[in-house]
Structure 1
Amino acid sequence: MRDPRTFDADASGGQSFGDLPEWDLSDLYTAPDAPQLKADLDWFEAEAKAYAADYEGKLDTLDADGMLRAIQRHERLDQVAGRIMSYAGLRYYQETTNGERAKFISDMQDRLTNASTALVFFNLEFNRLEDAFLDGLYEANADLARYRPTLDRLRAMKPHQLSDEMERFLHDASVVGASAWNKLFDETMAALEFTVRDETYGIEGVANLLSEQDRSLREDAAREMARVLSANVRTFARIHNTLAKEKEIEDRWRKLPTPQSARHLANHVEPEVVQALRDAVVAAYPRLSHRYYALKAKWLGLDKLRPWDRNAPLPMEEDRRIQWDEAVETVTTAYAGFDPRMAELAEPFFTKGWIDAPVKPGKAPGAFAHPTVTDAHPYVMLNYLGKPRDVMTLAHELGHGVHQVLAAEQGEWLSSTPLTLAETASVFGEMLTFRALLKAAPDQNARKVLLAGKVEDMINTVVRQIAFYDFECKLHAARREGELTPDDIGALWMSVQAESLGPAVEFMEGFESFWGYIPHFVHSPFYVYAYAFGDSLVNALYAAYEETPEGFQDKYLDMLRAGGSKHHKDLLAPFGLDASDPAFWDKGLGMIEGFIDELEAMD
């Protein structure tokens, strides 16, 4: 295996950040041709057939013990399939341009999809069971009742369920539907090359240049991004048109009232809660992003910010790169300062090959924490380039990882947290790291740099993501009226950008194509509001921590440990918080506003 520092130097202008870790996927499987992987595939195919033979058409005849056995067998099937696809997916994301890896993930998906057709009956048949029948089973067996939160989320789709034959068709066709377009998007993005001052970058590398001190370099990077994205905008438009139309067709057949409904059901969150969040953030645009960007233009000595100035460092900010060991120390110390158990849970990520940090040719852009399966452990992907924001990204993804480790105690069906709460631990991890750095700031300039960086991160997490959500809402509504040209999509994009960023930002030609590289629009429609939900929730949580620190750590870890076993009302109740209260969101937004107040007072 090549030294990761070599990969890093190739991708980051010759700079090294220390011994960056790479994944050791052997905890899943030792190789694509590993005997255990073949054995698991064979077992899955045989067990899926046996499961259907044992239970299809018979769920309404089961007693409580029999239903528990059926669910536990299904859970084991999901676990084995999840292990296989986690391994295939993580290998693929390490090198999306590798033909063998792309073929391997497609082959695994095909085999598992074909085999799991036998299991489609379970959801359909379970949703036809009477409520009274299920209530009786839950009362008779506490172990079965433990699964009720997951089963209730399944039954939320009951009114939107299609015929058994149609559901099987959609299941079988899925491999050539959204997942195929997702792969086309990933491969297209990974293959893009951006040339800035005779250096060639992928999307991560060129986007990283937008936060350099040298303004002319930032402008060159932004214009090159605009050139390359504009050159590929027809492909991006085709992907978005197809996925939005596919979604419209399925939503229409399922009688889902809005394009967002499926996401709200999956998140187990009420539409009015999301609408209250969206409305609160949009109403706060003038107090948050508009005000902050006007301040930043003044700091930079500009009449208007251009797209390449929005994430620029402040003039007094040191232009230094943070070594990997320093980043690790910063985050783990902040975690330990909150609770030593947090640092203990984070430790194996750094020592056991659970993190893949270097930027590498063909590697997927961005960062994520993948939970894999509950009898293994999560893996974190980064594209580490030594910027302060990369340290915060490490804190963010490590928060996800800690959450996933704790929630794994719930088992496969109850560990997965709805997206609205999935960002809680990640954003809280960022907040802990930020507060530790702020406390240690040696002077007012250092404090100003930290506060400005945090405000920008919060604006990117709250304002930007709600603007993304509005863009998606507009895109899907417009697609229902007909095919959208790249110019049509660009106009929708620019409308939300202007509204959210405000009059202090002036756009450049080509910025109308920047929607093309946002992966969430492709992979997870309407995912993005979860970021704003999580950030605002964490701001309120942290305020509760400052007001009443006694016993907070135990309650917080218990909340993470609950995974998907409780509704957001029940999870937040111990902290005296309620996300269904419209005033709740103003508390979170108020923290951002307070930071901007402090920055204004420093001038």
Structure 2
Amino acid sequence: MDKLNQNWNLEVIYNSTNELHVYLHQLEEDLQVLARGINSFSTISIVDANKMKILLLDLGMNKGKLSQATSYITCLLAQNPLDEKATLLQGKVTKLSSQFEHTLTKAKNIIAQISPELWEVLIESPIVNDFKFILIEWRNAGNTSLTHNEQAMLSSLMTDGYHAWGQMYQTLMGNLKIELQIEGKKHTYSVGQALNLRAHPDEHIRKFAHESLEKEWAEHQQNFAKILNHLVGFRIQMNQLQGIEDALDEPLRKNRMKKKTLDAMWSAVSKHKQPFVSYLNHKAKMNHDGKMQAFNFWAPIASVGNKIHFDDAINLIVEHFSKFGPKLKAFAVNAFEDGWVEAENRPGKSSVAFCASFPMSAESRVFMTFDGTMKSVLTLVHELGHAFHNFAMTDISGLNREYPLSIAETASTFAEMIVLEAAMENATSIQEKISLLDEKFKRSVMNFMNIHSRFLFELKFYEERKKGLVAVHRINELMHEAIKEGYEDSVEEVSVYTWLWTPHFYITKAPFYNFPYTFGYLFSLCLFAKYKEMGTAFENAYIQLLRDSGKMSTEELVLKHLNEDITSEEFWEKGLKLCVQDVELFLQLTALN
């Protein structure tokens, strides 16, 4: 492909913030019409399936319109966290989102209150068959101790309370500047740029960046501890109001997953950590360390050439995607040529890579900071995987586009595997293969150890927060204990401030946004094994799986498309064994080298 711009094109979404103002005004009127439509269902004596379908389609349409506006503002604030106009618009969209959630809650309550006789007639009607899963999900979740007025009040409070704390985190983190003195010159980095230095080939720079970040976290830890305490405190109170004691109840429901599935996954992971401990120990010895140092974890293991130019990275991605299937290749080419990607390495950007969906435009936008490392190439690929999932669901009705977070990480991780596997096959030297295997294992360690530690920390923090505010020193202790258990004490100098700079702890719409990554990673390994069996014929089956991801539970989805039982440890061990085989190859190659 020809030389491409590293900045995205947002103007095709909205020409200006003034155009967004007009859009939001119309959306506000649309939401009022929707609310009146919901009120017509307030007393149900006869269920009209046709009318119900229209209502569900309207809900999905307005959900898409809100997502469109939210994504646009998210993009504006990512490229410039100090954008005051975008910040004001964010408040407007948050208020409209609250109104929509209020209307949606009312719709769910109406579904829950339909008499058993009328419900049987409705749910078996072919007219609403496309919404059958979500209707049943709403009805099953409708048994809440909160009255409609209490739910409305709670939704309203979330705007200026709960969600505001999450937005405060984004603002504070986006405003942080890291000052580093490198090679006699003073440099100012955003958090994202400073974190990227963890993959710098010079160990002194990696260590210096690590220590500078630790100093920055220590200076601001009180403010971030306050935010985390209030976010989790709100969630706990919200759960208690609804009679929910288990902190995992909401994330499991949102992931459409059984507790048995989560337990089976973590049990399998815990039983198979030793090979990755061996990998970390071996890599530490290669660096002449007794134990892996955290600031060396992302370091390139071998010199395999110069930095990867952005254009070369794009060509590499397109080439490898083409080997998977023509639809994925065409999608990637379109995304790059139409300006879907913001990758410029510059200060003042947000530190968090993400993919934003624009359902009304049938487009996505990918945000990241490209620094020429294989790690940044894979970050770009990861976010493009999310965008491909959005693409696969282009013509799916709004309410059925909302897939669980566990499945959300499947397409992104699968895309990484395509590129890594193809790159391994094309490797021209042992050193290159070693380097690529190392990149693979970094992801394995992140999913099996780092994310496990996040999960363990969040569980422990919730328990302590129930007793009252948790002091900063205790938060750090909890993080340290979780890291020690998650990594099986195989890494030193891991930041006890991980709770502070990990944005997933502060995402208000997704508590426990950790285990979905591990789920998606292992699930992707199983899908990748299927792809190896079927070749390019797998692409259509893969797209169908993504299309179905908003219409059934994770257990049903895997059973339908893979004929596998994910509540058993045996399923997860299939994916883990593929990773273990790669560890064995790595140890062989490094011994030869």
1:263 to 226, 243, 251: 251
Distance 1:298 1:84 in 2: 50
Is 2:329 the partner of 1:338?
A: no
3-state SS in 2 of match to 1:196: strand
Distance 1:425 1:132 in 2: 40
Change over 3 Å in CA distance of 1:491–1:43 after alignment to 2:
same
Mapping 1:208-357, distance limit 5 Å? 208-288=196-276, 290-314=277-301, 316-318=302-304, 320-357=306-343
Structure 1 contact 48–119 (Cα < 8 Å) conserved: no
Provide the residue aligned with 1:404 in structure 2.
390
Is 2:83 the partner of 1:101?
A: no
Deviations 1:478-513 (A, max 9, x none): 1112211111111111112122223442227xx322
Distance 2:361 2:129 in 1: 22
Structure 1 runs not aligned, ≥5 long: 1-16
Distance 2:501 2:3 in 1: 29
3-state SS in 1 of match to 2:493: coil
Distance 2:497 2:561 in 1: 45
Distance 2:416 2:172 in 1: 31
Provide the residue aligned with 1:13 in structure 2.
none
1:207 to 195, 199, 202: 195
Distance 2:445 2:25 in 1: 48
Is 2:168 the partner of 1:184?
A: yes
**CA shift for structure 1 position 218:** 1.0
3-state SS in 2 of match to 1:159: coil
Provide the residue aligned with 2:430 in structure 1.
444
**CA shift for structure 1 position 360:** 4.0
Change over 3 Å in CA distance of 1:112–1:243 after alignment to 2:
closer
Aligned residues: 581
Is 2:64 the partner of 1:79?
A: yes
Deviations 1:536-562 (A, max 9, x none): 111122123324448422211211222
Deviations 1:452-488 (A, max 9, x none): 1111122113321122111111111111122111111
Mapping 1:20-59, distance limit 5 Å? 20-34=5-19, 36-55=22-41, 57-59=42-44
Between 247-256 and 346-355, the greater mean CA deviation after superposition: 346-355
Distance 2:305 2:174 in 1: 28
Mapping 1:506-517, distance limit 5 Å? 506-507=492-493, 511-517=495-501
Distance 1:562 1:547 in 2: 22
Structure 2 contact 525–578 (Cα < 8 Å) conserved: yes
Deviations 1:103-132 (A, max 9, x none): 121123224535764554212222222444
Superposed CA RMSD in Å reads: 2.1
Deviations 1:318-345 (A, max 9, x none): 3632111111111111111011111112
2:531 to 545, 552, 556: 545
Structure 1 contact 153–268 (Cα < 8 Å) conserved: no
Deviations 1:163-215 (A, max 9, x none): 11110001111111221011110011111111121211111111111111211
Provide the residue aligned with 2:463 in structure 1.
477
Distance 2:357 2:117 in 1: 35
Deviations 1:354-402 (A, max 9, x none): 2221234432212111223255322211111111011111111111111
Distance 1:423 1:594 in 2: 23
**CA shift for structure 1 position 45:** 4.4
Provide the residue aligned with 1:64 in structure 2.
49
Deviations 1:568-595 (A, max 9, x none): 2343233333312221111111111111
Distance 1:486 1:513 in 2: 10
Structure 2 contact 17–85 (Cα < 8 Å) conserved: no
Structure 1 contact 462–531 (Cα < 8 Å) conserved: no
**CA shift for structure 1 position 275:** 1.5
Change over 3 Å in CA distance of 1:130–1:363 after alignment to 2:
farther
Distance 1:598 1:113 in 2: 52
Change over 3 Å in CA distance of 1:112–1:443 after alignment to 2:
closer
> Normalising by structure 2, what TM-score?
0.93
**CA shift for structure 1 position 79:** 2.5
Mapping 1:164-183, distance limit 5 Å? 164-183=148-167
Provide the residue aligned with 2:515 in structure 1.
529
2:480 to 485, 491, 494: 494
Distance 1:206 1:127 in 2: 50
Distance 1:63 1:111 in 2: 28
Structure 2 contact 133–551 (Cα < 8 Å) conserved: yes
3-state SS in 1 of match to 2:292: coil
Distance 1:42 1:591 in 2: 51
Provide the residue aligned with 2:128 in structure 1.
144
Structure 1 contact 210–218 (Cα < 8 Å) conserved: yes
Provide the residue aligned with 1:386 in structure 2.
372
Change over 3 Å in CA distance of 1:60–1:380 after alignment to 2:
farther
Between 253-262 and 60-69, the greater mean CA deviation after superposition: 60-69
Structure 2 contact 304–431 (Cα < 8 Å) conserved: no
3-state SS in 2 of match to 1:294: helix
Is 2:129 the partner of 1:129?
A: no
Structure 1 contact 95–101 (Cα < 8 Å) conserved: no
Change over 3 Å in CA distance of 1:582–1:159 after alignment to 2:
farther
Structure 2 contact 453–482 (Cα < 8 Å) conserved: yes
Distance 2:547 2:10 in 1: 25
Structure 2 runs not aligned, ≥5 long: none
Provide the residue aligned with 1:457 in structure 2.
443
Structure 2 contact 190–350 (Cα < 8 Å) conserved: no
Provide the residue aligned with 1:4 in structure 2.
none
Distance 1:42 1:513 in 2: 41
Distance 1:211 1:226 in 2: 16
Provide the residue aligned with 1:91 in structure 2.
76
Distance 1:466 1:332 in 2: 33
Distance 1:360 1:58 in 2: 57
Distance 1:181 1:320 in 2: 42
Between 291-300 and 552-561, the greater mean CA deviation after superposition: 552-561
3-state SS in 1 of match to 2:143: helix
Distance 2:13 2:548 in 1: 24
**CA shift for structure 1 position 424:** 1.3
Deviations 1:120-178 (A, max 9, x none): 421222222244423312323x2311111222332342233511111000111111122
3-state SS in 2 of match to 1:379: strand
Change over 3 Å in CA distance of 1:506–1:123 after alignment to 2:
same
Deviations 1:47-88 (A, max 9, x none): 234324433x13453321121122222222222222222222
Structure 1 contact 395–429 (Cα < 8 Å) conserved: yes
